[in-house]
Amino acid sequence: MDDKAAGNQDSLVAKMLYLFDQAGFSEMIQPRDVVAIKLHMGEWNNTGYLRPVYIRALADKIKSLGGVPFVTDTTTLPYHVWAARVTALDYLTTAERNGFNSGTVGCPVIIADGYFGTDDVHVDLPEGVILKESYVATAIAAADALIVLSHFKGHGLGVVGGAIKNMALGCASKRGKFAVHGCGSLKFGYQGAPLVAELCTGRDCPNWRLCDEVCPFDALHVAEEGLVWEAEKCRSCMAHRSVVGCGALAVPDDLTDANCVAIADAARATQKVVGPDRVGCINLAIDITSWCDCAGFAGRPIIPNLGVFVSPDPVAVDMACIDAANAAPGIPGSDAEQYGVMECGVPKFSTCSSVIGVSQLLQLKTGQKNGLGSMEYELERIDQVESVLPYLFNPGPGDPVPLGTRFKRLFEKLPVFPSEGYRRREDVDLEELR
């Protein structure tokens, strides 16, 4: 359903809940089922993440079905100095600031992989294209059903951030995330990174201590004459990336491409461990920025809002969003203009989101190959919800009461209107003001 609205019946919240039923997710949830609502709650100072109202509405919906919902996400890798969700403590602090806690969303907020992201379940993945195993955060793996609520937008590494990415890195524990990022890979990981030690000026560099101390595994040191790197100690934690600015440790060939492939593999692991028939994907394609909510900002969206897309198949739902994004025009002044993809029919994310032009279809093609889902889909466009009544505000049980009836006693009791009437002029020259 698209995001156009002419009245209460067109609220995106109403549309989301309506599609939840239409897609059969209600039947998926049995009474007493524990239902994980997987959600990205936004990085510190990010303003593009989904508003808490969507989540509250979803949690209430699940409760009305007899399910036991909880809202969840996982700790991140320490990508940079300002990362605000690396531990559960950091994450919950950030989530509170962004408006998410058990009070606002109406159910517990749990960080699924524990305090430092070590609480996980191992999943064998013989069908994986790159990854042959994955690690899914325990709280998600343990859930009876999983609702993947994704803010669809671009992502610097994954190119698009939708249902697949939310199920992959979003549901993986720390070691699961490291695996996706090429940890231990001699070809795609930093263990296989080309080292150009000569680019490092050694201890002549004013910042040499940073590089010397940054590696938590002691793989990186700065000697008098240059960088010393013990590849076998490397765990691809990427801690060095924001520090080594001289280019001495280069990015391995095809690292980003391999990441996208591994993302779809990790998503497959989540789908497997929860059960393919117990996963529902909801993509809210709004505020579609070229950067992800994991950045500490949200730029001008690159295309207009597309609406809400729902499917049990994460590949299909992302594909439908990508097709709709391709067909949409770019927004003036956004990255779409800067990168020259303003016109309808032109792919947007490979150009605007990936720093090096990685294909926006890599995740999806891999997902099709490893059994995660299908890029072929049938799009059923629904213009309106059948009845708006279930989604409207109703302060009490039973049928809604007419306004006059409800507030009659309050009008009598409280001085809503000034007793002397309003002081005003009746002969204002409106024409002049017009």
Partner 1 sequence: MAGMIGKVLHVDLQRGDVREKELSPVLIKFMLGGVGVASLLVSIEVPVEANALDAANRLVFMAGPLTGTTFPAATRYTVAAKSPLSDTIYSGGGGGGWGPELKAAGLDGILIEGKASKPVYLWVQDSKAELRDATQVWGLDALAAQEQIIKEVGQRRARAVSIGPAGERMARIAAIVGDTGQAAIFGGMGAVMGSKNLKAIVVRGHQRVPVADEPALTELGRKASIYLASNRNLRGLRAYGTAYAMEQSIPTGEVPVQNWRTFCWDEGICRLGGRSIANSYRRPYAPCRDCPVRCFSKVEVGEGKYQVHGVTPQYEALAALGSLCLNDNLESVCYASHLCDQYGLDPVAVGSAIAFAMETAEKGLISKEDAGIDLAWGNPEAVVGLTAQIGQGTGLGKSLGEGVKLASTQLDGVTEFTLHLKGLPVPMGDPRAFFSLAPAYATGFPGDPTAFERFLVRPRLGIMHKQGRFDKGGKGLAAKVAQDYHAMVESAGICPLTIPAMHLPIISAALEAATGETFTPLQAIAMGERTVNLQRLYANECGISAGDDRLPERLLTPAAEGRHAGHVPDLATQLEEYYELRGWDSDGRPTQQTLEKLGLA
**Residues near partner 1 (CB under 8 A):** 194, 196-199, 246-247, 250-251, 253-254, 257, 337-343, 346-347, 350-351, 354-362
Supply the Cα-derived Rg of the chain in whole angstroms: 25
State how far the alpha carbon of 392 is from the alpha carbons of 2, 284, 389, 395, 399, in Å.
19, 20, 5, 10, 11
Of 245 and 276, which CB lies nearer to partner 1 in the complex structure? 245
- Rounded Cα distance, 189 and 177, in Å: 13
Of 147 and 336, which CB lies nearer to partner 1 in the complex structure? 336
- In whole angstroms, the minimum distance from the beta carbon of 190 to partner 1 comes to 12
- In whole angstroms, the minimum distance from the beta carbon of 346 to partner 1 comes to 5
- In whole angstroms, the minimum distance from the beta carbon of 338 to partner 1 comes to 6
- In whole angstroms, the minimum distance from the beta carbon of 246 to partner 1 comes to 8
Question: How is residue 339 written in tokens?
Answer: 């990168």
Of 57 and 248, which CB lies nearer to partner 1 in the complex structure? 248
- In whole angstroms, the minimum distance from the beta carbon of 195 to partner 1 comes to 9
Of 89 and 356, which CB lies nearer to partner 1 in the complex structure? 356
Of 346 and 382, which CB lies nearer to partner 1 in the complex structure? 346
Count Cα neighbours of 361 within 13 Å in the Cβ-side half-sphere: 11
Of 118 and 338, which CB lies nearer to partner 1 in the complex structure? 338
State how far the alpha carbon of 273 is from the alpha carbons of 10, 27, 43, 167, 246, in Å.
36, 20, 27, 11, 42
Q: Are 269 and 260 in contact (CB under 8 A)?
A: no
- In whole angstroms, the minimum distance from the beta carbon of 342 to partner 1 comes to 7
Question: How is residue 194 written in tokens?
Answer: 């080309």
Residue type, 50: L
Of 211 and 362, which CB lies nearer to partner 1 in the complex structure? 362
State how far the alpha carbon of 427 is from the alpha carbons of 327, 420, 431, 433, 434, in Å.
53, 20, 11, 13, 15
- In whole angstroms, the minimum distance from the beta carbon of 24 to partner 1 comes to 35
- In whole angstroms, the minimum distance from the beta carbon of 197 to partner 1 comes to 7
Q: What is the dihedral of CA 45, 160, 378, 267, to 10 degrees?
A: -90
- Rounded Cα distance, 420 and 228, in Å: 84
Of 42 and 154, which CB lies nearer to partner 1 in the complex structure? 154
DSSP, residue by residue, 334-398: SHHHHTT--STTS--HHHHT-TT---TTHHHHHHHHTTS--S--------S-S-SGGGS--SSSS
Of 96 and 257, which CB lies nearer to partner 1 in the complex structure? 257
Nearest to 137 by CA among 110, 108, 160, 109: 110
Q: How far is CA 398 from the centre of its chain?
A: 37
